[in-house]
């Protein structure tokens, strides 16, 4: 995810600077590694904000990191958060561009219940806020559809593959995976190697993750995201062309998490230009209705949050076949 995310942020900055920057000043990017422990990341961001080095924050990282950053910056600068998230968490100057569980995963759950007769579900996630609240939402949805949760586990980072026997013993029809990063890849590699057959619906799988798994030929691995690089819309194709023109045809492949960095930088710029300042109260006052053109089309803030269609992708080798868009 990292190389694509950096490239997408650079592309956004380049395009803004080609149009005279933001509020007449050039956009400069300061990179912070969001994969470290949450408090360390937040402390570094707070130091950059406190010293005046940065005037806005764009994030594509886990929700536990986001929570710490929001607390650390305390509304001093705007913060655009790109990935899917668990909902709630609203604070001054925080803008959510990703999907909540009801918009991201509920349609995929419904689709698997209806088309694959998935009645028995196992829920597997890393042990932090996003998986826990996603699972709570999934339980309510499954209960309403008469489906059964036959097991649930939250695991520490690096321990996901230990669950294989437990999952297999429950004989689920489908598995909801809220694992992230290397854990998501390791679990899916081990699951496929074991020859287990349940459908797997992932909340954080994108093109880089599928490549890390080594692809999938089972026809049972699904991802639900607002953006896939295989979107053949005019907006998607245009973005892919601009990305390739800037970084080359062999650049790190586009994916939802990386593309989110483009949207986050662009949204911060759009808010600033609309308000005429980067002061948080002024940005909050104009946030509703602020729009950005991105690879998934025009996205618009409502209640400081974007609501946009998602797509259900089925892994087919190293690519995703887009089964269905959900409005």
- Examine the domain organization and report whether 120 and 212 are in the same domain: yes
How many CB atoms neighbour CB 172 within 10 A? 25
Over residues 9-63, the pLDDT tens digits come to 999 999 999 999 999 999 999 999 999 999 999 999 999 999 999 999 999 999 9
Whether the predicted pLDDT of 89 surpasses 90: no
Same structural domain for residues 220 and 287? no
Whether residues 223 and 316 fall in one domain: yes
The CA-atom distances, in angstroms, between 271 and each of 132, 268, 274 are 32, 5, 5
pLDDT range class, residue 327, cuts 50, 70, 90: low
* Cα 266 to Cα 77: distance, rounded to the nearest angstrom: 16
Cα three-residue angle 303-109-326, rounded to 5 degrees: 50
H or E stretch at 67: helix 63-73
Tell whether 137 and 285 lie within a shared domain: no
pLDDT digits (tens, 9 = 90+) for 216-249: 999 999 999 999 998 889 999 999 999 999 999 9
- Paired tokens of 206: 């994108």
Task: Let me know if 123 is exposed, middle or buried by CB neighbors in 10 A (0-12, 13-18, 19+).
Answer: buried
Identify whether residues 72 and 210 lie together within a single domain.
no
As a whole number, the mean pLDDT across the chain is 95
Between CA 60 and CA 306 the distance in angstroms is: 15
Identify the CATH number of the domain in which residue 248 sits. 3.40.50.2300
Domain membership of residue 27 as a residue range: 2-99+232-306
> Could you tell me where the beta strands, DSSP code E, fall in 85-220?
94-96, 120-126, 148-155, 174-178, 199-202
Give yes or no: residues 117 and 197 share one domain.
yes
Does residue 161 carry a pLDDT above 60?
Answer: yes
Query: Domain check: are 198 and 257 in the same one?
Result: no
Summarize the confidence of residues 92-100 as an average pLDDT: 97
* Residue 141 contacts residue 112 (beta carbons within 8 Å): no
Residues 202 and 314 in one domain: yes
Quote the CA–CA distance of 264 and 98 in Å, as a whole number.
10
State how far the Cα of 45 lies from the Cα of 70, in Å rounded to an integer: 10
H, E, C per residue of 178-210: ECCHHHHHHHHHHHHHCCCCCEEEECCCCHHHH
Question: How many domains does the chain contain in total?
Answer: 2
Q: Are residues 169 and 126 in the same domain?
A: yes
Residues 177 and 142 in one domain: yes
Both 111 and 211 in a single domain? yes
- Rounded distance between C-alpha atoms, residue 36 and residue 46, angstroms: 15
Does 219 lie in the same domain as 122?
A: yes
Which residues, other chains included, contact 40 with Cβ-Cβ below 8 Å and sequence gap of 6+? none
pTM score of the predicted model: 0.94
8 A C-beta contact, residue 266 and residue 294: yes
């Amino acid at each position: 995810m990292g190389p694509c995310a950096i490239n997408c942020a650079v592309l956004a900055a380049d395009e803004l600077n080609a149009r005279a920057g933001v509020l007449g000043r050039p956009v400069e990017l300061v990179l912070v590694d969001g994969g470290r422990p949450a408090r360390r990341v937040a402390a570094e961001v707070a130091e950059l904000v406190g010293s005046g080095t940065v005037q806005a924050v764009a994030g594509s990282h886990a929700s536990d990191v986001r929570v710490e950053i929001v607390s650390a910056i305390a509304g001093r600068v705007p913060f655009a958060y790109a990935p899917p998230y668990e909902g709630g968490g609203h604070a001054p100057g925080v803008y959510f561009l990703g999907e909540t569980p009801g918009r991201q995963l509920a349609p995929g759950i419904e689709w698997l219940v209806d088309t694959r007769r998935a009645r028995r579900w196992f829920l597997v996630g890393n042990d932090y806020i996003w998986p826990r609240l996603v699972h709570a939402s999934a339980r309510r949805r499954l209960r309403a559809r008469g489906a059964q949760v036959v097991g649930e586990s939250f695991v520490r980072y690096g321990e996901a593959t230990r669950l294989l026997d437990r999952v297999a013993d429950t004989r689920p029809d489908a598995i909801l995976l809220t694992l992230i990063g290397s854990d998501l890849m390791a679990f899916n590699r081990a699951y496929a190697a074991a020859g287990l057959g349940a459908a797997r619906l992932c909340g954080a799988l994108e093109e880089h993750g599928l490549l890390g798994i080594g692809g999938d030929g089972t026809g049972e691995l699904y991802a639900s995201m607002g953006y896939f690089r295989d979107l053949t819309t005019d907006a998607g194709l245009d973005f892919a062309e601009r990305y390739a023109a800037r970084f080359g045809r062999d650049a790190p492949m586009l994916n939802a998490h990386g593309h989110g960095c483009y949207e986050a930088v662009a949204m911060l710029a759009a808010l600033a230009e609309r308000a005429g300042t980067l002061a948080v109260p002024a940005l909050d006052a104009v946030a509703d209705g602020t729009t950005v053109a991105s690879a998934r089309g025009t996205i618009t803030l409502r209640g400081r949050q974007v609501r946009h269609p998602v797509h259900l992708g089925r892994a087919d080798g190293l690519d995703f076949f887009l089964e269905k868009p959900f409005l």
